[in-house]
Amino acid sequence: MRTTLWALEGLEHILFGSGRRVACRNAWTAVLEDRDRARSRLEAESVRNAAAAALEAEAVVHAAADRPAPAASRG
């Protein structure tokens, strides 16, 4: 029984010996992808905020242009 267990452990070591290395590589790749997604998300947020500010400024300009001119006061 013990010999069979040792044989299976040896076979497992041969077949899955590089498993830890692969797992670490996969984890690091996932970290790098998360960083790329975060960078892209921040960039998209900056573009969105700039576009919103431009639209808001345009709306203010149009609102000011649509108002009637103030009446001249007699003094």
pTM of the model: 0.53
Q: Would you state the pLDDT for residue 14?
A: 79
Distance (Å, rounded) from C-alpha 61 to C-alpha 53? 12
Q: Give average pLDDT by consecutive 10-residue segment, the chain, 75 residues.
A: 84 76 89 97 96 90 73 62
pLDDT at 73: 63
CA-to-CA dists, residue 20 to 15, 23, 34, 54, 57, angstroms: 12, 5, 21, 51, 55
pLDDT at 34 (0 to 100):
97
Please state, in angstroms and rounded to a whole number, the distance separating the CA atoms of residues 57 and 13.
Answer: 66
